[in-house]
Amino acid sequence: MTVIKQDPRVVKTRTNLRRALVYLMQHEKLENISVQKITKTANITRGTFYLHYRDKQDFVEAAMNGIIDQLFEHVLEKGTPREVTDGKILQTMSVSETFSYIEKNADVFTVLLSGQQNRYFYQQLYNRLTEVITNYAKGLGTDLEEIDVPLRIQVAFITSALLGLIIRWLDGGLIYTPRYMTSSLEKMLNNFASSHLLIISFLDFQTHNGLEI
């Protein structure tokens, strides 16, 4: 597979615009943020903005999807690969790295996951997590018709539980460390694992980088 490298100048411009958006959203509602405010905060011209995006809506959606892309690239890369039937390798998601990444980017995720104005970001994050968990479950090679709880319900449960926990953690001011959050989630889900929920194994609870409580 050929990896297409982006022009560093393009990456820098889009990164600055995304940071400007998050900064502005910390101070006012999204509907009140204009392209002019975004470009002024990012210190770029409106002409440059329109070279990359059709309008504000196009930019906002691209920026939020870019944040989600970066999150999943990081936490899936750090997950421990799981070997299943016929030597197939499935990628798990590192829970400790998920909490750690969100903690390091708390300003971004707090503003994007707090309040009703950012429903788009939550829904896209929910959809992406649903997609990767579903693909993992299908890759296990298990007869999905034979499992006790339908896959769709299992995925909805895990996705809603994980995102809900992250939101409460952010709203509470991150008073618990990533390692503590990982350990707590693992304990809560152990009972479900013993009840043969298919997709619990997608979550890798190993801690990385010496995170401390």
Give me the pLDDT at residue 142, please: 66
Q: What are phi and psi for residue 203, nearest 5 degrees?
A: -90, 120
Report the mean per-residue pLDDT for the chain. Answer: 85
Judged against a pLDDT cut of 70, whether residue 115 lies above it is answered with no
Cβ–Cβ < 8 Å for 100, 209: yes
Give me the pLDDT at residue 7, please: 81
Encode pLDDT of 151-166 as tens digits: 888 899 889 999 999 9
Mean pLDDT of 115-142: 86
This prediction's pTM: 0.84
190: confidence class by pLDDT, cuts 50, 70, 90: confident
Burial category of 174 from C-beta neighbours within 10 Å (exposed 0-12, middle 13-18, buried 19 and up): middle
Mean pLDDT of 25-47: 95
Judged against a pLDDT cut of 80, whether residue 20 lies above it is answered with yes
Give me the pLDDT at residue 150, please: 83
Give me the pLDDT at residue 89, please: 85
Give me the pLDDT at residue 91, please: 86
Copy the structure tokens of residue 133.
């968990």
194: confidence class by pLDDT, cuts 50, 70, 90: low
Give me the pLDDT at residue 211, please: 43
Give the residue among 97, 64, 58 at the shortest CA–CA distance from 79: 97
Segment among 30-34, 100-104, 133-137, 145-149 with least mean pLDDT: 145-149
Q: Which residue has the higher pLDDT, 194 or 5?
A: 5
Residue with tokens 């909490």: 99
